[in-house]
Chains A and B, each alone.
Chain A
Amino acid sequence: MRLSSIFRLVPGKADQSREAKLYRDLLRHEAKIGGKLFGPVPKGGRREFFCLDENTWIWHEEWLDDNKNRQVRTTRYDVRSNGVVKSQDGRHYQSVSNEELKRLYKAAKSYREQTTNELYQAVSQPVS
């Protein structure tokens, strides 16, 4: 049996929708893996770290402040040709300190290792 008959290469609309859903689910799963890279999350908190696309990394953190109010912060790191900039909660872009860059790099490295181990170990070549 040919591989092309096992994996349909030209999906229909329903397939595209399911594939898009699968892609989103993969991203969610990666975000959970990424959230575990920084140690335990405080009670009532939530943390996600993931690669959104080839130039963007997202760090999302939710926590309860001293007054038990929920705080949310989403930091978006954009990798540009001349450096890395970040935007928090959709506000303007700002530069990233060397220390933060170092932590981002280490986190991304661990993220790549963990997602490869947990999700992509078996995927070494594209199906043609």
Chain B
Amino acid sequence: MSALSLLGFGSDSQHERREGLFSVVDSLDGAWNILYNRRFIVENAFKRLEQNPAIQAIITAELNDTQRQIMMGESANHREHLSFIQHLTAAVETESPMAPNEAVTTPTTEAVEPTMDVSQLTNLARSLAEPAGARAGQLPKDFSPDALVSSYSEDLGNAS
């Protein structure tokens, strides 16, 4: 026996005999209003339950709990992030030969004073050219250490 029968809503057999609810609905005048009213009752019943102080207390407690969990999660993420940054900074300080503020250079348009004289430059050019000299067949014919030095000296002269 169904709960509705127990509550005095008629026998189950009447209901069970029907082929389908909507065949009944379609055949009745005013069915639309009944459907609407019933929906209204269900909506209101749910709202009353939801807005009940006892339920509200539970919802608030659950929300607070969720919020707390999120905050704990965020805090854990933040700690993890800080730890990662600290690890990264430590790695940079250990592995980089430069201090952090030396790593950034400011571009300048001022002329650069030569710090080597021509003979020093010639020696440097020769030493640089030596490995290339081993592959002399691949170099341009006019290439020579002296030509490189004179070109470099001209640049310095123009700059000053």
Contact = CB atoms under 8 A, between A and B. Distances in A.
B96 interface: no
B48 A126 contact: no
Contacts of B30: 7-9, 11, 15, 19
A11 B29 contact: yes
A28 B15 contact: yes
A22 interface: yes
B3 to A, nearest CB: 3
Of the four ranges (under 10, 10 to 19, 20 to 34, 35 or more), the interface on chain B belongs to 35 or more
B34 A26 contact: yes
A60 B33 contact: no
B77 interface: no
Contacts of B45: 51, 53-57, 79, 108
Contact of A22 (B31, B41, B48): B31
Interface stretch (B4-12, B82-90, B107-115, B148-156): B4-12
Contact of A27 (B6, B9, B53, B58): B9
Contacts of A82: 53
Contact of A116 (B7, B9, B39): B39
Given A50-B3, A54-B48, A55-B48, A26 B33 contact: no
A9 B150 CA distance: 109
Given A26-B21, A96-B54, A123-B36, 11 more contacts: A29-B21, A30-B38, A51-B46, A53-B41, A55-B48, A79-B45, A83-B53, A84-B49, A84-B55, A120-B36, A120-B42
Interface of B: 1-4, 6-7, 9-10, 12, 14-15, 18, 21, 24-25, 28-39, 41-46, 48-50, 52-55, 58-59
7 contacts: A25-B24, A31-B2, A48-B2, A56-B45, A60-B6, A83-B54, A112-B46
